[in-house]
Amino acid sequence: MADTRRFEGYGVLVTGAAQGIGAATVRRFAEEGAHVLVTDIDPAAAETTAAALREQGMAAGAFGCDVADRVSVEAAVAHAVDTLGSLDVLVNNAYHCSPDAPLFEDEPDDNWARDLDITLTGAYRCSRAALPHLAASGRGAVVSIGSVNGLRDFGNHAYSAAKAGLVSLTRTLAGHAAERGVRVNLVAPGTVRTPPWEERAGALDALRGLYPLGRVGEPEDIAAAVAFLASRDAAWITGTTLVVDGGLTAVDSGFRSAWRGRDDT
């Protein structure tokens, strides 16, 4: 459990929060005193996550939200304002990732459109609906969950393009929102131990060696970074991308390994 209560009295809405990074994020905010709204396209799963927090004495509610639908997004934001008392933090976590076709020319339009609509346009819809309330709070913050895929090539054309778009949206929205007292930042995780990886036995162990810090990330690693950027500890930070990837994009492990193994004789 977090050591501080930085978010006492805050209202926090997190999208795609029933599991994985989203669930760890709502828990982190709730542990630090926030009243959180767990939103997810699966309302029952959202309620399960919220109920677990309430059972431990934390303030949490749940609401079904499809970020691909403007009406659903606006209903979730309105519900947050009504039930949380204020909306101080929005975390854009919902995403969709389609597998790549073997050949780029075989990529279907539907996969491209869906990944961008949920991952990028979904964050746009949520931020648009939340911004007036975040501005009214006097301490508003938006934190989006990007990916190292938006910074370098790790495959997944549509998903990566959507995550790169989030980096740009973070900058432009930060410029607009600053004069309204709202900060906008992004966390770009590397590989994180989340439910989708459970279907790929052994993949995380294989990837571990690519990370300079010797492990893949845990959802709590990302939640901690999100909480920092949303807090007053980051009061002079806006429009930035915070890479949380165990050194993956900073260190070329393959090059270093090859260099160490070179034959100088």
Residue 192: count other Cβ atoms within 10 Å of its Cβ.
23
- Contact at 8 Å (CB) between 114 and 98? yes
Active site residue 159: yes
Q: Which residues contact 240 (CB under 8 A, 6 or more apart)?
A: 170, 185, 186, 229
Which residue in 10, 95, 124, 163 is the catalytic one? 163
SS3 6: coil
- Cβ-in-10-Å burial (0-12, 13-18, 19+) of 76 comes to buried
The one catalytic residue among 10, 95, 159, 211:
159
- The strand pairing partners of 146, in sequence order, are none
Residue 49, SS3?
A: helix
Residue in 138, 69, 23, 18 with CA at minimum distance from that of residue 77: 69
Q: Which has the closest alpha carbon to 22: 55, 81, 65, 79? A: 65
Q: Mark whether 163 is an active-site residue.
A: yes
Q: How far apart are CA 246 and CA 7, in angstroms?
A: 27
What would the DSSP string read from start to end of 31-90? Answer: HTT-EEEEEESSHHHHHHHHHHHHHTT--EEEEE--TT-HHHHHHHHHHHHHHHSS--EE
Looking up tokens 């050591």 gives: 3
| CA 231 – CA 237 distance, rounded (Å) | 10
Single-letter amino acid code for the residue at 217: G
Q: Kindly list the catalytic residues.
A: 159, 163
